[in-house]
């Protein structure tokens, strides 16, 4: 005997399925078409316009093969050294962060580069478990539908590197007056060093904190080696 949903419930079920699959559909599009902007970029532009109408964000897409090899390595060294092998999450880091937060310490994150890409592309900043749940759901689809190469390419093109520069090309031009393909290892490490708070730190004129983090990232890059991402970025 067939089980038939009554019409209102059937319509709700259809809507639920469409909503659930919407992220996958958009991710399939963005697998081959470069996203023109991100949710976080749009929010920042609106805030900047309200506070300083004469100022605007800058963003310019650049393909991964036109970004210096040191930049993906610097981002991975500073943000997510398990990137080549993880599937969007590092459960041990999540467990440590949850325990630390439950103990009442300063809130610690445990986001991989895939999670950060999902958050920046689709969501606005908000510290809630609901938002983290949505982020996790999008991350699962992103890991399934995108290659590692596509994840890091989009990540580097939508990440915020200064109060107005989004994407490594805009940041390279604004801060170092060169293209992303011409960045030095030190400049790549400096850009990666400001990622936790790019509107507070200056990669071109690093203070004590950024200089220390830059030096640490450079050491991690040497430790990982220049070919650390080769297999991950070949697909």
Using CA atoms, how far residue 16 sits from 4, 11, 20, 56, 119, in Å, is 17, 9, 6, 38, 21
**What is the dihedral angle through the alpha carbons of 178, 182, 186, 190, rounded to the nearest 10 degrees?**
50
DSSP letter at 160 equals: B
Q: Please determine, for residue 1, whether its predicted confidence score (pLDDT) is greater than 50.
A: no
Are the CB atoms for 151 and 117 separated by under 8 Å? yes
- Give the pLDDT confidence score for residue 19 in this predicted structure: 74
- Give the pLDDT confidence score for residue 14 in this predicted structure: 72
- Give the pLDDT confidence score for residue 105 in this predicted structure: 54
Q: Please determine, for residue 198, whether its predicted confidence score (pLDDT) is greater than 60.
A: yes
Confidence of residue 107 (pLDDT cuts 50, 70, 90): very low
For 127-174, what is each residue's pLDDT tens digit? 788 889 999 999 999 999 999 999 999 999 999 999 999 999 999 999
Confidence of residue 124 (pLDDT cuts 50, 70, 90): confident
pTM of the entire predicted model = 0.89
Q: Please determine, for residue 202, whether its predicted confidence score (pLDDT) is greater than 70.
A: yes
For 74-89, what is each residue's pLDDT tens digit? 999 999 999 999 999 9
For 20-35, what is each residue's pLDDT tens digit? 889 999 999 999 999 9
- Give the pLDDT confidence score for residue 200 in this predicted structure: 93
pLDDT over 70 for what percent of the chain? 86
């Amino acid at each position: 005997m067939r089980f038939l949903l009554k019409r209102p419930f059937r319509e709700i079920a259809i809507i639920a399925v469409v909503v659930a699959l919407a992220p996958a559909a958009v991710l399939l599009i963005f697998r081959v078409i470069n996203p023109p902007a991100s949710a976080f970029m749009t929010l920042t532009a609106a805030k900047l316009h309200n506070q300083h109408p004469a100022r605007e964000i800058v963003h310019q897409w650049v393909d991964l093969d036109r970004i210096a090899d040191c930049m993906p390595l610097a981002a991975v060294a500073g943000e997510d050294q398990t990137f080549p092998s993880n599937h969007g999450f590092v459960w041990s880091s999540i467990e440590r962060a949850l325990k630390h937060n439950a103990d009442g310490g300063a809130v610690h994150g445990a986001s991989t580069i895939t999670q950060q890409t999902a958050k920046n592309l689709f969501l606005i900043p908000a510290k809630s478990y609901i938002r983290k749940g949505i982020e996790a759901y999008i991350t699962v689809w992103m890991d399934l539908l995108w290659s590692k190469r596509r994840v890091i390419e989009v990540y580097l093109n939508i990440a915020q590197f200064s109060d107005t520069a989004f994407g490594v090309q805009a940041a390279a031009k604004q801060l170092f007056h060169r293209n992303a393909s011409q960045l030095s290892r030190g400049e790549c490490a400096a850009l990666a060093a400001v990622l936790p708070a790019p509107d507070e730190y200056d990669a071109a004129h690093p203070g004590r904190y950024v200089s220390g983090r830059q030096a640490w990232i450079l050491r991690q890059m040497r430790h990982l080696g220049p070919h650390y991402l080769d297999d991950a970025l070949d697909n």
